[in-house]
Amino acid sequence: MRLSRHRRLLLATALTAVAAMTLSGTPALAEPPAPAPPRTSVQPGHEENLGQTMPDKILSQDQSQGVDAAGNPQVYWVTAGNDETTAMFQATDVRTGRIVFAERLPRGVNSWANTFSPAEGAVYFATTEGFFYTWTPGDQSVTAIPFPYPGEGIWRLAAAPDGIIYGGTYPGGRLFAYDPATARFTDHGQIIPGETYGRALAIDDDHVYFGTQPRAKLARFDRATGEVLQMPLPAKYANEEAVYDMTLAGGYLLARVQKVNDLLVFDTATAQLVHVVPAIDGRAISGLDPTGPYVYYRRVSQGIVQLNLETFEETPLGWRPNAIPGTWAWIDMRSPDFPGLSLSMTFYNGRVYVYNLQTKRNRYISEAGLQGAPTPLQALGVDRAGTVYSGGFLTPPGISAYNPDTKAFRLLNGGGQVEGFGQFGDDLVYGRYPGGTLYRYDPARAWSMGTNPGEPVTIGQEQDRPQALVQVGDRVVVGSVPISGRLGGALSVWKPDTGEITVRRDIVANQSVVSLAARGDLVVGGTSINGGFGIDPVASQAELFVYDVTTGTVRGSRVVVPGAQSINGLRFDDEGVLWGIADGTLFAAEVDPATGTIDVLRAENLFGLARTMYGQDRALAFRDGMIYATYGGRLWSVNPVTWKARVLAGSGAEHLVAGVDGSLYYTRGFTLYRWVFDPVAAPPACTETITGGHRGPLQVSRGVTCVIGGQVSGPVTVRPGAGLVLDGARVDGPVTATGASHLSTFDTEVRGPLSVSASTGPVRVDSSTVRGPVTLTANRGGEVTVTATTVGGPLACTANTTAPGNAGVANTVSGPRTGQCAAL
């Protein structure tokens, strides 16, 4: 986007929105500015629904296994939903593979809490939004249980041997108990001070073992007395993220610590650590083998491994299911191929694996019968060739690639949860959660995970979400958010050709780096005051900073919008002006390449206020002299001359990118959309331009008069054959045009009626306010549009050769709408 000197002057002299943002050292413009060529309107366009980008996914973050009244083994899933579809409870019969029950839940989207109570023969499950349910095999529907702790989500459930159900919550980190016999809840409070997630539970007759996140801590709760015993982990685990999974077996508590994935073995009689199994692969550890002192878990390199709890020796079984264990159970398959009890394992995408230790036979039950939901989209990118990529929440299935030429989607399997996309030459680069990994993909070659893209580069230093990626020469600069429970994101410089990476954490103390823009060797970054989930921010205001990639130094930083919690959508225009969004405020700034000084030219709250933790749903794009943005679930256009904004599309629009084909691409839920610009005639050349004030009436008798950002103190009359453009103007009186060659108003206020008749060229009334009636009569030059305009009286249209339209954007009319404009 090019910004003329005239528009730069408008930016530099219009600092009225934020008093604290005064300029320091802004260079003066000595010569008179040349007027900008006019825009007759926002180019009209329309929205296209391109469709669901990925197939429905089966994702049950937690599962449980149990039996029905006849003893048939079953698996219980709560498959995730999205903003438009709730989660779904489903039950699989393991022997037959059939789905024996399925019901869409009345409320709730995601579930990490699912347990079967053998004492009652019932399943209990809950959502992270705080909705609690139960179902007994044979019931015709699930039963909702009112949850008495508003503001708390339920993140883990476990059943005690006597049938009491215990749960862990976020953000309170509390332990609660539910007694099915009395339908009463008991709040046991925050078990470990300062820990916000109750992430892992294991229960016996006497105790509840409670593991936390965002710091890996462990406590034992006495069920009879309520006493809490803290069980310190060795010092080497002080910086680990969570005690994530726990199992009681053979007099031991087995607790997996994430992210190191060591399995800690505690003696339950003494509550002392007695053994450490290094670096298993999550998640779950089985209960005790009924035939001996064994438990089972997974190692990627070995498959399923047996651990002897008497000797702590490990033995690979030779069974290598391509799955991460979610739950384990010992079940009777009633089959000669599976004599006695077999080991049943679930996987979060709806699969079940069964293995018999005697016969070494195994069975696989696919997810084919389960119902999923579309994947919510959370990142959008584009490569140099124009392919548009979308990444979804907690995927597989992968990354979606949309080809605008063929209008076809292609699924790139195994892409994972993408936090941000970028470009490196003709290649696509992206950052993935969890683990803070970076990938490079060559779109000219076939997608093959592990080859193209190749092995990832890990940022490290507790970074989890690489959200912003921008190319600077042979490097990609990456901004990231840390793991849960940590403050301090990072700015990383990655060389994709060599894999080398340099990480600088806390480039702005205790803040994450969530947006980047590059110009030359300078990178400007925007921060969020938030760290990972589960920790409160200590900073109060997001900052812009300037980083010199060549020297590896921070050249300067400042708060650009006081009180803003996140700065996003950073983009340099063609003249080097930096644009961005700080919460609901659009700002423009200049960055001095010699000193790194940031001078704010103008900042105005155009979009209201809709905060998210990292603001990745906010973006900016430039096209034909206009600014486009997504913010607060809407697609906006902004006139950089008048700083007026209007909504093009709403209802959840997010994640904007400019396509190579000239369209704007954005998402809504799980669907990709495109804003297509309709062709329009080129604006006329101005023979006279008014940029300041004009006293008294204005008569336009020949040529084209353009009033750009100026004010006419009187009526305006356009004679036959003459043209008028009002761009960001104000007219203190009526506007009357008869036989005009062209007439357009854009972001203009007319303090009186507007009447246009017998025009021989286009008539466009766009994003304006007319404080009186609008009359359009017998115009015969083609296009006639009234778009996003407020009319303080009737809107009457008759005998126009082409019926007036509104380019898909409604008007506000206080009087009757008649004739050809009855529907506008």
Residue 57 lies in a domain: no
With a cut of 50, say whether residue 809 has pLDDT above it.
yes
% of the chain surpassing 70 pLDDT: 94
Q: Mean pLDDT across the chain, nearest whole number?
A: 92
With a cut of 80, say whether residue 592 has pLDDT above it.
yes
Q: CA–CA separation, 74 vs 93, rounded Å?
A: 5
556: confidence class by pLDDT, cuts 50, 70, 90: very high
Instruction: Tell me: do 396 and 279 sit in the same domain.
Output: no
Residue 30's pLDDT is 31
Residue 676's pLDDT is 94
Residue 42's pLDDT is 61
Identify the domain containing residue 310 by its residue range. Answer: 63-365
Q: Can you give the length of the chain in residues?
A: 824
Instruction: Tell me: do 585 and 695 sit in the same domain.
Output: no
* Selection from 14-28, 38-52, 651-665 with the highest mean pLDDT: 651-665
Residue 11 lies in a domain: yes
Determine the longest span between alpha carbons in the chain, in angstroms: 102
* Residue the block writes with tokens 């049943």: 344
Instruction: Tell me: do 752 and 623 sit in the same domain.
Output: no
Q: What is the mean pLDDT of residues 700-711?
A: 93
pTM: 0.82
Given 365, 398, 428, the domain boundary residue is 365
Instruction: Tell me: do 721 and 773 sit in the same domain.
Output: yes
Residue 5's pLDDT is 35
Instruction: Tell me: do 629 and 743 sit in the same domain.
Output: no
Q: How far is CA 757 from the centre of its chain?
A: 49
Residue 662 lies in a domain: yes
Question: Which tokens is 333 given?
Answer: 């398959």
Which domain CATH number covers 466? 2.130.10.10
Query: What are 747-799's pLDDT values in tens digits?
Result: 899 999 999 999 999 999 998 999 999 999 999 988 899 988 999 999 999 99
Q: Give the sign of the dihedral formed by CA 556, CA 561, CA 567, CA 571.
A: negative
- Bigger pLDDT: 806 vs 600: 600
Query: What are 22-78's pLDDT values in tens digits?
Result: 222 223 333 333 444 454 456 678 899 999 999 898 999 999 999 999 999 999 999
Q: What is the mean pLDDT of residues 712-725?
A: 97
Instruction: Tell me: do 499 and 555 sit in the same domain.
Output: yes
- Bigger pLDDT: 423 vs 692: 423
Given 323, 340, 365, the domain boundary residue is 365
How many domains are there within the chain? Answer: 3
Residue 534's pLDDT is 87
Residue 15 lies in a domain: yes
Q: What is the mean pLDDT of residues 299-312?
A: 96
Q: What is the mean pLDDT of residues 377-381?
A: 95
Instruction: Tell me: do 398 and 491 sit in the same domain.
Output: yes
Residue 58 lies in a domain: no
Nearest to 391 by CA among 365, 368, 422, 370: 422
Q: What is the mean pLDDT of residues 328-351?
A: 97
With a cut of 50, say whether residue 374 has pLDDT above it.
yes
783: DSSP letter: -
C-alpha atoms less than 13 angstroms from C-alpha of 418 in its C-beta half-sphere: 31
Instruction: Tell me: do 470 and 517 sit in the same domain.
Output: yes
With a cut of 50, say whether residue 20 has pLDDT above it.
no
Query: What are 266-280's pLDDT values in tens digits?
Result: 999 999 999 999 999
Residue 682 lies in a domain: no
Given 337, 365, 393, the domain boundary residue is 365
Residue 189 lies in a domain: yes
Q: What is the mean pLDDT of residues 721-736?
A: 95
- List, as one string, the DSSP characters of 99-121: EEEEEE-SS-S---EEEEETTTT
Q: How many CB atoms lie within 10 A of CB 107?
A: 12
Instruction: Tell me: do 669 and 765 sit in the same domain.
Output: no
Instruction: Tell me: do 304 and 176 sit in the same domain.
Output: yes
Instruction: Tell me: do 573 and 720 sit in the same domain.
Output: no
Residue 287's pLDDT is 97
With a cut of 80, say whether residue 808 has pLDDT above it.
no
Backbone angles phi, psi at 8, to 5 degrees: -60, -40
Instruction: Tell me: do 214 and 139 sit in the same domain.
Output: yes
Q: What is the mean pLDDT of residues 817-823?
A: 94
Instruction: Find the radius of gyration of the CA atoms of the chain.
Output: 32
Residue 683 lies in a domain: no
